[in-house]
């Protein structure tokens, strides 16, 4: 399938998000593109349109062969260059904050029980997905192209933070990019 080669960085230049009314008036919504709550579904649908993946239940996308893909967002390196922006969330959302498994994982990590924390992450997502699609859409701005790339889950697991299995390094993933393609 096109636009789904692993370790290829795909770039798409985005001008704006516009809503066109029936009377022809248009409104732009730059804050919607930058806000994670607002852009989550929008960028998932765009990735499906660009790749030919379909909407899945329990994961974000499904390929024609039945492979499941989870989509996660990171802050773009150009816009957010510092190491403080390197680690980002890659496990299921229910493993963070006050959500279902967040407090359990926090307790495991506080008691240096990384393996138990990892097992929760495995059960809630890592085991069911064959691939992860990473996009630069966290706090997205149109001054940089939309960028996305695909990583096999086995490589995601090998790249997890050694202090928190919910996190992954943006820098380590970007170093694995083998080619770049503008769409």
pLDDT tens profile 28-70: 998 899 988 889 999 999 999 999 999 999 899 999 999 999 9
- Over residues 62-121, the pLDDT tens digits come to 999 999 999 999 999 999 999 999 999 999 999 988 879 999 999 999 999 999 999 999
pTM for this prediction: 0.94
Phi-psi region of 60 (alpha: psi -120 to 50; beta: other; left: phi over 0): alpha
Q: Judge whether 159 and 172 are in contact, CB under 8 Å.
A: yes
What does the alpha-carbon distance between residue 128 and residue 130 come to, in Å, rounded to a whole number? 7
Helix axes 102-110, 114-121, angle to 10 degrees: 160
d(CA 123, CA 104): 13
| 130-183: pLDDT as tens digits | 999 999 999 999 999 999 999 999 999 999 999 999 999 999 999 999 999 999
């Amino acid at each position: 399938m096109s636009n789904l080669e692993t370790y290829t960085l795909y770039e798409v230049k985005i001008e704006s998000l516009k809503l066109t009314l029936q009377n022809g008036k248009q409104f732009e919504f730059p804050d919607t593109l930058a806000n994670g709550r607002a852009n989550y579904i929008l960028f998932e649908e765009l990735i499906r349109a660009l790749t030919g993946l379909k909407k899945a239940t329990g994961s974000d996308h499904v390929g024609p062969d039945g492979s499941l893909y989870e989509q996660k967002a990171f802050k773009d390196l150009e816009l957010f260059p510092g190491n403080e922006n390197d680690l980002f969330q890659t496990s299921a959302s229910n493993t963070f904050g006050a959500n279902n498994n967040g407090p359990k994982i926090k307790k495991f990590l506080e008691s240096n029980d990384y393996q138990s924390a990892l097992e929760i992450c495995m059960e809630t997502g890592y085991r069911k997905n064959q691939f992860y699609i990473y996009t630069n859409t966290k706090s997205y701005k149109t001054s940089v192209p939309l960028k996305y790339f695909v990583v096999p889950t086995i490589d995601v697991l090998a790249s997890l933070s050694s202090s928190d299995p919910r996190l992954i390094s943006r820098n380590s993933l970007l170093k694995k990019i083998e080619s770049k393609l503008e769409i």
